Structure 1
């Protein structure tokens, strides 16, 4: 009987997601907000809570994040990643200043103390790579000239998490400076090793994975990705970073073939990820913190748009691309929830979890909308046509990073 209920729940959930996705496609907007609302309806405190399939959905959601970042990584080479990071590290610093400080200030103003300030700074700082990857695909912008700039900011944030999460864990658990330093050192070493392997031995990895049989290619790529993501997470490095680096390590025909066979899996598990986010949100916990969450969401949406605009302008992207880059970065998601979860389990501040949940829920719904409409709204408000991109050094008429739109 339990097995039958599991199949009924899971089948009904996937059918509902398919119908919601069809509805969103008919009216030309991203289905992500609808997936999240479906999660609220099926979660604890919702209209029809799931029971038998909840554990499966939780595991499938982790695979969804991994596949989203793998597919994003397949679009770019290791050389693209390193080059963009070298160019855009100032944007990463601006991103931290503009978006982490409002969260820290809010926690201090509410009297939650310095540890809670560090936690909320992380919640407001980190954009959702999973949501943004899905939105870029839905809007057909993966090959746009501003997309490498967006990815550079996201990768900078994800790699920064390799420093932030071990540091936060040590802070929350009250570890000594020596113990915290060891945890941080291990995390940095793992992230550096994976990045080095992707850059130095990418061709070898591609030859190892390569296969003319789509079934074998699917199994090898998926297995390798999950293995690397799991090891990375076990060593306190983001699973998303591990999956992304596996993607950039693959190039040429292997990347193209992997992309073709993995698209259906990505779409399925990504939808489940967004539903799971909603499942873990009790609707009753949102109203008491909705006002401060809304204020913080509006403020940091503006600062994220400013971050993307500045980064794209620095990369000599045209006016429209600058606004698109800013709007795409607004969504928060998986990392913010992980950070808030660490704080809740340590008992730092009871209200922090509800505020973080409401904040992320607002921005994960608003994010796909800002990604789509920031540029046309800005054009109406400020007028004018497209500002031509400035010539790149060496006389090229386009930004050098524009070549990173797809793998050779």
Structure 2
């Protein structure tokens, strides 16, 4: 009887997720907010609370986090990370200062203590790579001059996760200064060793893992990932960090094949993860934290726009491209929920989960809108400010030179830009 209830609940949840995903795809926005709302509906205090399948959903959610970080690591090679770190670390520092510190300040202002402040700093710091990549593709901006700047900031954020997550894990576990320092040292040493091995012997590793039979490739990569994630967890290092490092170590045909095979699994278990996070949040706890969530969302949307503008200006991008870069970075999503989920599991602060849920729901909806409208709205305000714009007398502005993508130099930074009219650039 228990098995029948389990199948009925799981089937219902997965069917609803599929329908929600189709609805989101039909209207061209991220399904993450719908998954979170679905989790709220299935959780305690929701419309259809689950009972038999909670343990299975919790395990599936952990696998979802591991697969999310593995797929993220597969996107980059060790050489890519090192190159981006050397070329764009000032932009990463500005990104941290502009976006992590407001979250930490809000946590302290709410009286949640330093550990919750560190968690909230991570929630507001990390942009959603998945949402941003989809938005750039939908808007036809993958070839734009500012896109490498956007991707560089996302890569630096992902790389920073390898340092941030072990620190957070130690803090959530209540480890003292000595134990926390040992955990961080182990994590940094492991990350450094993996990067070194990937740089020197990445082809050999990928050749060992790679196989013409998709079934064998899937089993080896998935088994290796779960094994490394489990070992990392035993060492008090986040399992997500272990999965991320496995993804970095793979390259070439092995990485491409694994990416193709694991994408459906990642999507399934990631959706289960968002549902699980919603299950952990009582819907009645969201209204009391809605105002702080709105204030934090407004503040950090502006700071992300400022981050992208500054980074694009440093790279020599034209003004329009600077605004586009800033608007594209606004969306938060999967990794903000991953970070908040760690804190919810540890039982740090009861209001942190609802605040993170409301915050992500707001910005995952506002993010695509900001990517589309930041540039024209900024241009209109600039004309109003200069006194040369009138709704009745508006004339088309002359084409603003926007640089097309330039080849990367040996340092990883673009060479001298090539200019062309904005009318030829996808908007």
TM-score, normalised to structure 1, is 0.81
Q: Is the 8 A contact 2:81 2:159 kept in 1?
A: no
When residues 216 and 316 of structure 1 are mapped into structure 2, their CA distance, relative to the original with a 3 A threshold, is farther
2:22 aligned with 1:32, yes or no? Answer: no
1:94 aligns with 2:109: no
Structure-2 residue corresponding to 1:19: 19
For 1:138 and 1:270, the matched residues in 2 are separated by: 22
Q: How many residue pairs end up in the alignment?
A: 400
Give 5+ residue unaligned stretches, structure 1.
403-408
Q: CA deviation at 1:58?
A: 2.0
User: Which of these residues, 391, 399, 403, is aligned with residue 388 of structure 1?
Assistant: 403
Deviations 1:115-151 (A, max 9, x none): 5544433332233556656767887877876555445
How big is the shift at 1:160?
3.5
Residue aligning to 2:385: none
Which shifted more, 370-379 or 43-52?
370-379
Paired residue for 1:50?
Answer: 50
Partners of 2:299 and 2:120 in 1: how far apart? 14
Query: 1:355 is matched with which residue?
Result: 355
1:71-82 matches, cutoff 5 A: 71-82=71-82
Q: Which stretch shifts more, 279-288 or 346-355?
A: 346-355
Residues 136/247 of structure 1: CA separation in 2 closer, same or farther (3 Å cut): farther
Matched, 1:209 2:209: yes
- Say if 1:317 and 1:399, in contact at 8 Å, map to a contact too: no
CA contact (8 A) 1:132 1:331 kept: yes
Cα distance in 2 for residues equivalent to 1:185 and 1:395: 31
Q: Which moved more, 1:263-272 or 1:350-359?
A: 350-359
Structure-2 change in CA distance of 1:171 and 1:56 (3 Å): closer
Task: Find the aligned partners of 2:162 and 2:129 in 1 and give their Cα distance.
Answer: 15
CA distance in 1, matches of 2:309, 2:240: 25
Q: Does 1:305 align with 2:308?
A: no
CA deviation digits over 1:139-197, x for unaligned, max 9? Answer: 78778765554454344334434444554565667655333322221222122222222
**What is the Cα-based RMSD across aligned positions, in Å?**
3.7
The answer to whether the 8 A contact 1:146-1:312 is kept is: yes
Q: Which residue of 2 aligns with 1:399?
A: 414
Determine the structure 1 residue equivalent to 2:273: 273
Partners in 1 of 2:304 and 2:348 — Cα distance? Answer: 27
**Structure 2 unaligned runs (5+)?**
383-396, 418-427
Deviation at 1:290, TM superposition (A): 0.9
Aligned counterparts of 2:275 and 2:227: Cα–Cα separation in 1: 24
The 1:181/1:31 distance shift into structure 2, 3 A limit, reads closer
Q: Deviations over 1:95-125 (max 9, x none)?
A: 1110122123334444555555444333322
| Higher mean C-alpha deviation, range 133-142 or range 177-186 | 133-142
Q: Deviations over 1:322-348 (max 9, x none)?
A: 445434433445554565566668777
The 8 Å contact of residues 316 and 391 in structure 1, kept in 2 or not, is answered as no
Partner SS, residue 403 of structure 2: coil
Higher deviation after alignment, 195-204 or 292-301: 195-204
SS of residue in 2 equivalent to 1:46 = coil
SS at match of 1:388: strand
Which residue is equivalent to 1:121?
Answer: 121
CA contact (8 A) 1:229 1:239 kept: yes
Task: Check the 8 A contact 1:162/1:237 in 2, yes or no.
Answer: no
3-state SS of paired residue (1:49): coil
**Structure 1 residue 247, shift from structure 2 partner:** 2.7
Residue 9 of structure 1 contacts residue 50 of structure 1 at CA under 8 Å; is this kept in 2? yes
CA contact (8 A) 1:218 1:258 kept: yes
Q: Quote the residue 2:231 is aligned against.
A: 231
